[in-house]
Structure 1
Amino acid sequence: MADLDLRHLRYLIAVAETGSITRAAQRLMLTQPALSRALRALERMVGTPLLVRGSHATTLTAAGSELLMDAYDLVERSRVALARARGTETLTVTAPACDVLDVAAASRAFEEKHPDIQVHIEPRDWLAPEVLRAGATDVSILRDSFDRHGLDVEPLAAEPRMVILNAGHPLGGRDRLTLADLRDETFTYWPGMSDAEAAHWTGADVDGHPRRQSLRIGSVTDVLAAVALGRAVVYAHGSTLSERLPGMRALPVEDLSPSRLEIGTPARHAGPAGKLFVEHMLEWAARPA
């Protein structure tokens, strides 16, 4: 049996996180045919299909999902081994793509206080709680209505959410909206969302009205494209998103629940460096603006 190539495991992770071979290839800076060949080589090595290749999305088979958790662990262990050989400890932190810049700034301050610990940040659109529970990352920055089972979680901040919609939307000329105004709109959803997550991201956690219209997405890029094309609206924290993206508007929504930023570690095997990082992030979040 050929030796397992860590690159192939990274490729599997990228496909799982983006839900698309095309998007995974873009993230990995590979051509789509090259990535497809590598994934098929991995499937031949394992001896069973790992992916279900659909016209709109690529998902993992049961065997693919099993290998995914081991892939996270093996890739991280290889990184830790190299760090130890260099005389430093690596702390892996996953964070939502929208929070990466703030987490990076906090991480640089942490590394200044602890020069023997190097922080490796992995942006993730989804899967962060699952990856954390599996022990494939040390710390995760998390947002809103995730499953807390098996995690130790501390609150960092709460901030209001707004609705982001196409500037040409019939409601785009208003200064303020209500949940009732948006009840019949199409919202985006991530595959694998729990009922609580779906309710939060559509406002149903407040008014109790389930949203029937939804558009499946696999990445933050998909969300922005759906809004830009007028196919969906989305609730998001802060108003800077629309300022960076012409053709969109961010409007306040009465009674919409806030976005809660939290930090989590595995309940049973949080390491000393992870605990130090949590303490640092709590202090960072509490500092004066």
Structure 2
Amino acid sequence: MADLELRHLRYLIAVAETGSITRAAQRLLLTQPALSRALRALERTVGAPLLVRGSHATTLTATGSELLMDAYDLVERSRLALTRARGTETLTVTAPTCDVLTVAAASRAFEEKHPHVQVDIEPHDWLAPEVLRAGAAHVSILRDSFDRHGLDVEPFAAEPRMVLLSTDHPLGGRDRLTLADLRDETFTYWPGMSDAEAAHWTGADVDGHPRRQSLRIGSATDVIAAVALGRAVVYAHGSTLPEQLPGLRALPVEDLSPSHLEIGTSARNAGPTAKLFVEHMLGWSARPA
């Protein structure tokens, strides 16, 4: 009989938690066909159907539900076994690209206090909650309007946002703007944004007017390029804004909601080291400047 593969068990967990092969593939950073092939391979290994694939949702069969309980246990046991064998524990932390430097400084201080732990920081933006729920990270630094399902989240910091636009923009000569001034502007968006995230990053979370124009981007660099070329504007928090802004201008916006930075762990299986790291980060945020 073929052996079970841990990655296949992680895939089963992702499908069970998202209720969708499409959403599970996004969480796992896989293509949908690749995930479907892997799930069929798992079903062949088990020798029984594990999933009921519907047009709107994917659910587990009775056999799949039984295997799911063991999957959580086996995945966690494998992680602990590797930790004991290596003698050094690796803690994987995801963070938004704009916050990596801050998290790196705090992580170095954590490693000095806990020399048996190595902190591995992975930049992730909109998919960070999915990576955390999938078990591919132990801790995630998260920003603004993300899906909290299956996560334990602690407030970490907050900072005001401003609008970043080209100095050639018709509104670039103003000293201060309102949400109404920017209502019909083109805003950037990331693939996979939820409605709540899109509302926050366009100001619709405050004034209730959905934005009709958007420009798809794939990285923070794309955002700056889109603004510099006059193709879009963006609401940015302070740590996102570059120190030098040639051709760009940041302006305050009345009533714009702030950006909230939070720290999350899995509600199901956060280990003691992850909890220690969360305590460390909360203390780090509260330290004197």
Taking structure 2 as the reference length, what is the TM-score of the superposition? 0.73
Q: Secondary structure at the match of 1:184?
A: coil
The aligned residue for residue 125 of structure 2 is: 125
The aligned residue for residue 197 of structure 1 is: 197
Give the gaps of 5 or more residues in structure 1.
7-50, 52-58, 70-76
Give the gaps of 5 or more residues in structure 2.
8-24, 40-76
Q: Would the alpha carbon gap of residues 89 and 274 (structure 1) be closer, same or farther in structure 2, given more than 3 Å must change?
A: same
Q: Would the alpha carbon gap of residues 65 and 215 (structure 1) be closer, same or farther in structure 2, given more than 3 Å must change?
A: farther
Amino acid at match of 2:33: A
Amino acid at match of 2:256: L
Matched, 1:245 2:215: no
Q: Tell me, yes or no, if the aligned pair for 1:106 and 1:281 is still in contact at 8 Å.
A: yes
More displaced 10-residue stretch of structure 1: 272-281 or 85-94: 85-94
The aligned residue for residue 104 of structure 2 is: 104
Q: Tell me, yes or no, if the aligned pair for 2:126 and 2:192 is still in contact at 8 Å.
A: no
Q: Secondary structure at the match of 2:275?
A: helix
Amino acid at match of 2:286: A
Q: Would the alpha carbon gap of residues 83 and 246 (structure 1) be closer, same or farther in structure 2, given more than 3 Å must change?
A: farther
Q: Would the alpha carbon gap of residues 67 and 84 (structure 1) be closer, same or farther in structure 2, given more than 3 Å must change?
A: farther
Distance 1:248 1:81 in 2: 51
Distance 1:68 1:258 in 2: 42
Q: Would the alpha carbon gap of residues 187 and 258 (structure 1) be closer, same or farther in structure 2, given more than 3 Å must change?
A: same
Q: Please list, as runs of the form range in 1=range in 2, the aligned pairs for 1:62-211 lying within 5 A after superposition.
A: 62-64=32-34, 85-211=85-211
Distance 2:237 2:35 in 1: 31
Q: How far 1:245 sits from its partner (Å)?
A: 3.4
Q: Tell me, yes or no, if the aligned pair for 1:94 and 1:139 is still in contact at 8 Å.
A: yes
Greater radius of gyration (CA): 2
Q: Would the alpha carbon gap of residues 79 and 108 (structure 1) be closer, same or farther in structure 2, given more than 3 Å must change?
A: farther
Distance 1:218 1:61 in 2: 17
The aligned residue for residue 220 of structure 2 is: 220
The aligned residue for residue 259 of structure 1 is: 259
Distance 2:180 2:136 in 1: 41
Q: Would the alpha carbon gap of residues 68 and 214 (structure 1) be closer, same or farther in structure 2, given more than 3 Å must change?
A: farther
Q: Secondary structure at the match of 2:126?
A: coil
Calculate percent identity across the aligned residue pairs.
Answer: 83
Q: Would the alpha carbon gap of residues 207 and 271 (structure 1) be closer, same or farther in structure 2, given more than 3 Å must change?
A: same
Q: Tell me, yes or no, if the aligned pair for 1:162 and 1:239 is still in contact at 8 Å.
A: no
